[in-house]
Amino acid sequence: MRLLLRVVAVGAALLVAMMARSCIQGEPLPRGDAGWSDGAGQGGEVDVAGLGFFHGDSDAPLQIVEFTDPACPYCAQFHDDARDSLFAAYVATGEARWITIPWVSGQYANSRPAAVAVECAADAEMAERVTEALYAARDRWVGAGRARSTDIVQETAAGAGLAAADLVACIDDPALAARIGRADSLATALGIRGTPTYLIDGFPMMGAVPFAFARRAFDERLAALSAADSLN
């Protein structure tokens, strides 16, 4: 129980500390929203079936769900500063399953064509390449006019390896549009209002968190899961 309480405390502290380093709308994440898998908002895996891109071992004990807007500068900062280290420490070692969900947060006029380009990827590896390319080029497309921004996004995604014909088809793909809509519905149900946001087995963490902060939260939750397993 003390471990679980410490996880909650860590999550709350991180929310307060990182709100200034996240693209956020409105109030911070509420607790006890209907989208949490256990209905209480106090931990528990989130149902993300059919959404996002999966990384790691499906049997890994820790579930990380990352909501990221391709236009958000703090998402790019987290990707550059901490994400690779977290993947090496937890995903590559079999301790965590990581699901990245491209989300159109509504805070950027041009994030939807970017999210479409990421969702157009056939697998997680390609989605990573497209996302990284979009982050690197975001100064060119985020503030551009709608038509010009879409052109730059498509050029950037094609440069990352996506076929131009596939990109054109994805723009009008109803299944892709539905997937983006389901991601938005899930974010709304969970009370997510800013990016980047990560759910650590349901516990929220927000912002361009440094590796050391995220590692503490991950380790606390892994310890709690291990303690719970030992009682079964």
Task: Give the angle subtended at the CA of 198 by the CAs of 219 and 87, to the nearest 5°.
Answer: 55
Q: What percent of the chain has pLDDT over 70?
A: 81
Q: Given CA atoms 41, 43, 44, 47 in this order, what sign does their dihedral have?
A: positive
Cis? peptide before 102, omega within 30° of 0: no
Per-residue pLDDT, averaged over 133-155, amounts to 94
Q: What pLDDT digit, counting tens, does each position of 74-124 carry? A: 999 999 999 999 999 999 999 999 999 999 998 887 999 999 999 999 999
Give the lowest-confidence range in 1-5, 41-45, 207-211: 1-5
Q: What pLDDT digit, counting tens, does each position of 14-68 carry? A: 444 444 455 544 333 332 232 333 333 346 899 999 999 999 999 999 999 999 9
- Closest C-alpha to 136, from 123, 119, 153, 122: 153
Per-residue pLDDT, averaged over 2-15, amounts to 45
| Predicted local confidence at residue 86, as pLDDT | 97
Q: How far apart are CA 43 and CA 63, in angstroms?
A: 11
CA distances from 1 to 132, 162, 232 (A): 39, 48, 15
| Predicted local confidence at residue 21, as pLDDT | 54
Strand order in the sheet with 53-55: 53-55, 96-102, 62-68, 197-200, 203-206
| Predicted local confidence at residue 178, as pLDDT | 97
Average pLDDT score, the chain: 84
CATH class name, domain 2-231: alpha beta
Q: Which value, in Å, is the radius of gyration of the alpha carbons in the chain?
A: 17
- Closest C-alpha to 114, from 83, 82, 143, 84: 143
**Domains of the chain, residue spans:** 2-231
CB 231 within 8 A of CB 103: no
| Predicted local confidence at residue 14, as pLDDT | 44
